[in-house]
Chain A
Amino acid sequence: MTGVIVSAFPAIELSIALPLVALLTAILIGGKLAPRLILAVGPLMMALTGIVAWQVAEGDPTRVELGGWEAPLGIALFADGLSSSFLLLTAIIMSAVGIVAMAGFDARDGETSRSYSFWALFYGMWAALNGVFLGADFFNLYVAIELLTITAVGMVALGGTRAAIRYLLFALAGSLAYLTGVVLLYAEAGTLDMSLLAANEGDASVRLVAGGLMTAGLLAKTALFPLHAWLPPAHGGAPAPASAMLSALVVKASFFIIVRLWFDVMPEAAGPVLVQLIGILGGTAILYGSLLALRQARLKMIIAYSTVAQLGYLFLIFPLSGGIAGEMPWAAGAWSGGMFHALAHGLAKAAAFLAAGLIIEALGHDRIDDMKGIARAMPVTVFAFGIAAISLMGLPPSGGFMAKYLMLTAALAGGHVVIALVMMAGGLLAAAYLFRPVNRAFSGSDIPEVAYVAYWRQWVPLILALLAMLLGVVSAGPYEFIQIGRAVTAEVGIE
């Protein structure tokens, strides 16, 4: 009986509607109450996305036609194992970020436009993220990703106008490329609904051009090399809670659409050139981002360049999936590894940025050279950073290790020696650039004087980092879950 009630519960619709209600509420109440809204919205969103995951696990992929209007006219929402994993990830990270930001963006010293706008942007971003992960048609995805862009650029603008404008210019160019691709796709197929498009092969050459334009636009928003130039100043300069959301979630949203586009909707149109090109860009991003991360003097800039590098791994699933690798004992190793990487990196990167933010609050800066001995003043925070670093490096038993292990075995089985070498080099470089701040934090013997940072706030990044670790320890469950509704191409490749 309860099963019937839960399966009929409109959790999918509410997981977009609730953040929008919270957005309006935050604007209305403002002041001292708006920051505390997260204490109600966080648990509610976790429960809602948990129900969505339960519905997906019970009854395969779930599709909702809003208002009873069917595609191509109506707006459909769609949840499978992958999208509900991202929904849960978003709920966890946003709740954690919201709790840490409660003290940073409050109205204790009187309401400022900074504290006021942060919470509106925060809930707008949450709604947009869920809209992207649940969208079932490419035009509604366009609207969702534009809402995401506006909120993300707004967050960056809280840190610096220049970085925000640079980000916005990349995002605007990306939007136009994406929109042009959507127009061509509609002209060719007469629909933008994913399932209708997938059911009909259409003209492969038109779809390649349309999909190529959409992909180029989305790559600018994901900041894949060479379209990454905006990311380090934007993510490194934004307030730390904002950086955590931007690096952990926002760049993954446009990646998510790229995966849907090529793996689920039109694999037959991709062709080897596009697949290889995306793979080469991904590999270059790993090396380039890692090398630049080594040269940074500020902790947040290291983490930001690390994002440039870690995003590269995600795109290796294009050349790696399929071929002999598809016949491995675990199905779709490369694809699953890539999705694991997206989830584990999200948790670890959010933890790293939140920890860096707390260190900045304590020290007033994030210059690595002047961080000597901070581990003795803030043991919990530095421990959280260290655990997150283990997952980012891909050391066992973390979620990052599982991801890289799956991808690396797929690369070796498929004979992609160069990709395997790049992945291993990326792991070594990550160890090098993350060891530097950790080493500095433990050096010396005296306890530096730091400003007070509430103890409970220091635990939040630690919980996120431990969850990234847990993802590797109990990987079988999440692994099975993301396979629900997985496209065939995840196994056989898209060439």
Chain B
Amino acid sequence: MMATIDSALLFALTGCVLIGLGLYGFIVHAHLLRRILAFNVIGSGIFLLFGALGYLGAGQGTDPVPQALIITGIVVALSLTAFAIALVIKLAEEEKTAVLDAAKTAEDLHE
């Protein structure tokens, strides 16, 4: 009994950690590909948190609505990611760079 409650909590906390890690990555990295990856890490964290919050308790299973919403959310995140990557490729072709702020270009290439 105790163990199952803990595992739902564990999933929720893992989700929160992923959100935090992703947020850190989104802020500190200038390279656009890294930012898109960070966006996906945050998204996964939110979906994990959402799924864990849908747990109704031992013997009651889970609420199906969050699962349906998570699937929709994944589809949205996937299309946004594909679109973002297409834009970054276009920027790289046009300007030979994958960062927006020109001052950060040099340090970013060394990463």
Contacts and interface: CB of A to CB of B under 8 A. Distances in A.
Nearest to A180: B46
Contacts, number: 69
Interface string B39-55: 10011001001100100
A157 B76 contact: no
A157 B89 CA distance: 12
Given A153-B87, A179-B73, A187-B53, A165 B79 contact: no
Among B66, B80, B88, B90, residue most surrounded by chain A Cβ atoms (within 10 Å): B80
B15 to A, nearest CB: 9
A176 B46 contact: yes
A186 B50 contact: yes
Given A146-B80, A161-B90, A73 B65 contact: yes
Interface string B1-44: 00000000000000000010000001000001001000100110
Contact of B100 (A149, A166, A175, A176): A166
A45 interface: no
A165 B19 CA distance: 22
Give the dominant DSSP class at B's interface.
helix
Given A139-B72, A161-B90, A173-B26, A183 B42 contact: no
B89 to A, nearest CB: 10
B35 A139 contact: no
A448 interface: no
A165 B88 contact: yes
Contacts of B26: 173
Given A176-B46, A187-B53, A161 B87 contact: yes
9 nearest A-B residue pairs (beta carbon)? A187-B53, A183-B50, A161-B91, A146-B76, A161-B90, A172-B39, A176-B42, A165-B87, A139-B69
5 contacts: A73-B65, A146-B79, A168-B83, A169-B35, A183-B50
Interface of A: 72-73, 139, 142-143, 146, 149-150, 153-154, 157, 161-162, 164-166, 168-169, 172-173, 175-176, 179-180, 183, 186-187, 190
